[in-house]
Amino acid sequence: MDLELSPDDLCFRDDVRALISATFPPPERFDGSRAHEDRWRQAMAAKGWAANKWPVEFGGPGWTPAQAFVWERETTAAGLPPQVGGMGMGMLAPILFAYGTPEQQARFLPAILEDRERWCQGYSEPGSGSDLASLRTRAVRDGDAYVVNGEKIWTSGAHTADWMFCLTRTSDEARPQAGITFLLIDMRAPGVAVHPIISIDGRHAFNRVTFDNVRTPLENRIGEEGRGWTYAKGLLTHERTGQAFVSLSLELLAGLKEAAAALAGPDGASLLDDPSFAARLALAEMELKALEMTELRTLWQVQAGSAPGAQSSILKLKGAEIVQRMTEFFVECAGPYAAPWFPEVAGPAPVPPVGPPWVRRELARYFEGRAASIAGGTDEIQRNIIAKHVLHL
Ligand SMILES: Cc1cc2nc3c(=O)[nH]c(=O)nc-3n(C[C@H](O)[C@H](O)[C@H](O)COP(=O)(O)OP(=O)(O)OC[C@H]3O[C@@H](n4cnc5c(N)ncnc54)[C@H](O)[C@@H]3O)c2cc1C
């Protein structure tokens, strides 16, 4: 595997940088708003890069692994999402490519690509998170439709989604994994109710979603009845491959070095000059480098046509650990300022903020980073998968 960028890759990198600075001319930066997302999606679409992880036959750009790597690094370093279009773009589309009918592909993929329809993921239920195969939301066939009853929880973005890709139970007879069916459910169908869950930071990202006799046409079933577990497993490996957080950790590391270098003690030496801090940071950087190599190896294998498999659990587990360690370093740098006032939680601050300018942003990322060990399958579940499928224990 050759990790050196070729002259063509360097030209491509210049193209990417030009697109970024033309879309968000410095000092303007992407702010995460829908307006900025739209601007970024349109700029990518004009180059044919909006669905940059999709195969060519479905409108992807057909990048080499090196180009995909350059894209991910350059966009993340500039604070831009490598892709917009959320779970539809990144998680459902690969399932539609592999298991959707031509009609399903024609119906749903263009709307994902043009960001006309947003998707949420209906997997977890109360009591069925890690033990997902025990899920109980039931789908019963009735003429030309399934009638769905039950509830989902921790459904990110359900309140803004048009559709949910959902795991439902259609049979209790075989082993639990065999009786699961993958359905696409219209969030505006009668009987679907979204109940907000407000998190400790005051944000509304999660929901509980209930289904009361929701009719879902048979044509919205992916693949065969009872085979949903197989399809979902494929999708989870894609989700976890994208959760190595390498670009994010690289961005954090760069900011961290800057912040630590600027923090001078009474003797004028910076925190970066502290041998203990510098040694721990160097160790984290080496681990990040090793993770980056593993991610690249996986990327190359996926591009060559093989499924990521259990390797994606290694990426997710180590990726979460390293991103959390980077944010912990920021807490250390912040020292006595590591408990900033968050107006979203505590209301308007009574006094002007104190401490370095990055404190609020990085401390928010420290708290958010805890979710990396849970979402998409917990650390313990990744270890179980590695033990079974990699170490054959
Ligand atoms: C930010 C975020 C976004 C999310 N978004 C979505 C979403 O959009 N859609 C969706 O469906 N779900 C979503 N989830 C839910 C997520 O998938 C579940 O939280 C996760 O699968 C864990 O399930 P649980 O919360 O029920 O915990 P549990 O499964 O109850 O686990 C509790 C603890 O027990 C441990 N444990 C459980 N089983 C084992 C075992 N066999 N061996 C060892 N340890 C074990 C776990 O590791 C964990 O520490 C999201 C979660 C987060 C944090």
239 given a catalytic annotation: yes
- Could you tell me the two tokens for 93? 């589309």
Q: What is the C-alpha to C-alpha distance for residues 18 and 138, in angstroms, rounded to an integer?
A: 50
Q: Among residues 239, 292, 295, 362, which one is catalytic?
A: 239
Decide if pLDDT at 2 tops 60. no
3-state secondary structure of 221: strand
Q: Atom 38, ligand 1: which residue's CA is nearest?
A: 130
Residue with CA nearest ligand 1 atom 43: 380
- Can you list the domains of the chain with their CATH numbers? 7-84 (no CATH), 119-228 (2.40.110.10), 242-390 (1.20.140.10)
**CB-CB contact of 377 with 121 (8 Å):** no
In angstroms, the Cα distances linking 105 to 98, 230, 307, 358, 359 are: 10, 19, 21, 44, 45
CA–CA dist 119, 93 (Å, integer): 10
Mutation probe of ligand 1 site: the residue of 119, 155, 378 with most atoms within 8 A of C-beta: 378
pLDDT at 3: 60
Alpha carbon of 364 to ligand 1 centroid (Å):
21
Residue of 150, 146, 168 whose CA lies nearest to 219: 146
Q: How far is the CA of 374 from the centre of ligand 1 (A)?
A: 5
Q: Residues of the chain with pLDDT > 90: what percent? A: 68
Q: 124 in ligand 1 pocket by Cβ < 6 Å?
A: yes
Contact 64 CB / ligand 1 (< 6 Å)? no
| 272 pocket-lining for ligand 1 (C-beta < 6 Å) | no
* Distance, CA of 180 to CA of 167 (rounded, Å): 6
Q: Is the CB of 371 under 6 A from ligand 1?
A: yes
pLDDT (0 to 100) of residue 1: 47
CB of 199 within 6 A of ligand 1: the answer is no
What number does the ligand 1 atom closest to the CA of 379 have?
Answer: 47
Our answer on whether the CB atom of 121 is closer than 6 Å to any ligand 1 atom is yes
Q: To test ligand 1's pocket by mutation, which of 118, 119, 124 has the most ligand atoms within 8 angstroms of CB?
A: 124
Q: Which of 189-193, 237-241, 338-342, 343-347 has the lowest mean pLDDT?
A: 237-241
Distance 67 CA to ligand 1 centre (A): 34
Out of 87, 125, 130, 384, mutate this one to test ligand 1's pocket (max ligand atoms within 8 Å of CB): namely 130
Average model confidence (pLDDT) for the chain?
Answer: 91
205 CB less than 6 Å from ligand 1?
no
Instruction: Give the number of other Cβ atoms within 10 Å of residue 233's Cβ.
Output: 12
Does residue 133's CB lie within 6 angstroms of at least one atom of ligand 1?
no
Q: Is the CB of 377 under 6 A from ligand 1?
A: yes
Query: What secondary structure letter does DSSP report for 263?
Result: -
CA distance 124 to 115: 25
pLDDT above 60: residue 114: yes
Q: Per-residue DSSP letters for 48-101?
A: T-TTTTS-GGGT-----HHHHHHHHHHHHHTT--S--SHHIIIIIHHHHHHH--
Residues 161-220 have pLDDT tens digits of: 999 999 999 999 878 889 999 999 999 999 999 999 998 777 899 999 999 999 999 999
Render pLDDT for 133-164 as a digit per residue (tens, 0 to 9). Answer: 999 999 999 999 999 999 999 999 999 999 99
Report the nearest-CA residue for atom 41 of ligand 1. Answer: 381
Residue bearing the CA closest to ligand 1, atom 5: 156
Query: Which H or E run includes 146?
Result: strand 145-153
Pick from 126, 62, 60: nearest CA to 93:
60
pLDDT at 200: 77
